[in-house]
Amino acid sequence: MKQLNIGNTNWQTSAVALGIMRMEALSTEDAVKALETSVDSGINYIDSADIYGMGHSEEVFGKALKESSISRDKLYIQSKGGIIVDPNRSHGSFVFGKRYDFSKQHLIDTVDGILKRMQVDYLDSFLLHRPDPLMEPEEVAEAFDELQASGKVRHFGVSNFNPQQFMLVQEAVDQRLLINQLQFSIMHTGMIDFGMHTNMQDARSVNHDGGLLEFSRRYGVTVQTWSPFQYGMFAGTFINNDKFPELNKKLQELADKYGVSKNGIATAWILRHPANMQVVIGTMNPEHIADSAKGADVKLTKQEWYDVYFAAGNDLP
């Protein structure tokens, strides 16, 4: 599988990562199958969050890793924290927060909980999950220092942060923030739309995120793309969805050309962008995991990339 360097470091990993949000619904046996299929497909990066399945996803992962043929040191394991769960609104894979909390003690306790549930001694990376407007960067810095000094976390990053929020943390911590995990897919292209519609008055000209993609490229930050096959906010997948006939026709055409699935082409479309992105797939279906992973080795032409963009309902000004 195609490899990439995280954050312009020498930390080299697979271009596709496995997100385990939905692992809470699996038996240990099925979770083992998902993990082993991922590794057999070239995926060596695992993404989690302490709130996934209200912690149960990490528990299932920990048991599955122990029962699998996979050695811990062959994986890059990442988790996220900073969201306090609202149990009254949360169910299964859909977990909602009642507040965000980046206090020093909460971040340290969060990592301890993650390590216990996943049955590992350290995380390769830990991300601040969603920006807390009440965060005190000095407390984040103290937490990061303690977590790194104790050997519990090797690298750090953020998720869903705009450039100013990113820099507010970066200027306070000694560690380099290597990652920003953001929603991006063929059907969620705001990060690139506005750049092509500069100084225009249509909906796509609106800069919703402060130039995140350009910022990430300039500062060598790896964008990890979540929901790569989804449209809306967990509204569903666009793959084989009758709502998107033109897009699926184009995806199938390219899938036939390159000998992969539509999921593989959707993966290849993201990876064709020169921004050093990593695709985080969330499926637990072994067949879909393998199909999606194959897309990492497909390099679309520039015209094919644009053709998929057009098939999704976009245009050029």
Q: What is the pLDDT of residue 139?
A: 98
State the Cα–Cα distance between residues 98 and 235, nearest whole angstrom.
Answer: 22
Domains of the chain: 3-311 (3.20.20.100)
State the Cα–Cα distance between residues 182 and 166, nearest whole angstrom.
Answer: 12
> Smallest Cα–Cα separation from 104: which of 134, 126, 136?
136
Question: Any idea what the Cα angle at residue 242 is, between residues 240 and 244, rounded to 5°?
Answer: 85
Q: What tokens appear for 114 in the block?
A: 């993650």
Q: How many CB atoms lie within 10 A of CB 74?
A: 8
- DSSP assigned state of 70: -
Q: Which residues of the chain have pLDDT under 50?
A: none
Locus of tokens 């666009």: 238
User: How do beta strands 45-47 and 177-183 pair?
Assistant: unpaired
Q: What is the pLDDT of residue 134?
A: 96
State the Cα–Cα distance between residues 85 and 130, nearest whole angstrom.
Answer: 13
Which residues fall within 8 angstroms of residue 71, CB to CB, at 6 or more apart?
Answer: none
Q: What is the pLDDT of residue 189?
A: 96
Q: How many CB atoms lie within 10 A of CB 68?
A: 16
- DSSP assigned state of 221: P
Q: What is the pLDDT of residue 86?
A: 84
pLDDT, tens digit (0-9, with 9 covering 90-100), for 133-144 = 999 999 999 999
